[in-house]
Amino acid sequence: MMDERTVSAYHEALEQIPGRTGAIDKGLNTFRQTFSDLTRADLAERIAELYAETFYFNDTVHIARKRSELVDYMARTGSQLEENSVDVHQVIRDGADVYVRWEMSFVSRALGKKLESHSIGMTHLRFDEDGRIVLHQDFWDSGSALYAHLPVVGFFVRRAQGAMQ
């Protein structure tokens, strides 16, 4: 669940960061290739090529606005994964706004325990005139897909989810 500050930041980004339509295909192809395998040795370079110097990024776990910060975050994320895949199932365009429906799986380890996760989500993207991402907002249940699998934290997440059902 997003807090009010996160929702406000997204709305502010929507107002302040216009997208361009000229290189959407190029940007989408690079997006698919980059996120299909976050364990790649060249992930940092791919992220640096995919995102503009400044942008808005929120994957529900981390918010970034500068390329160098995102490169570091994604490199750390990728290094913690044993394997992953992101399969794009649908792309919807509305002017400069692009919505990507995807399915993600990953395997990682925490405290010696193997963690496997499978989830679905959507990403709202905007690109600049060179096909680089200037806005990236993910919509997915990181609580169920990520936190519920972690030792200790997962117990409390699963318990809270059970209480709400």
Name residues whose C-beta falls within 8 Å of residue 126's C-beta, 6 or more positions apart in sequence. Answer: 17, 18, 19, 20, 96, 97, 98, 133, 134, 135
The model's pTM is: 0.84
CB 30, CB 49: distance < 8 Å = yes
Name residues whose C-beta falls within 8 Å of residue 39's C-beta, 6 or more positions apart in sequence. Answer: 78, 81, 82, 83, 84
For 71-105, how does the pLDDT look when each residue is reduced to its tens digit (9 = 90+)?
999 999 899 899 999 999 999 999 999 999 999 99
Domain at 4-140, CATH class: alpha beta
Q: Which residue ranges make up each domain of the chain? A: 4-140
CB 104, CB 121: distance < 8 Å = yes
Q: How confident is the model at residue 145 (pLDDT cuts 50, 70, 90)?
A: very low
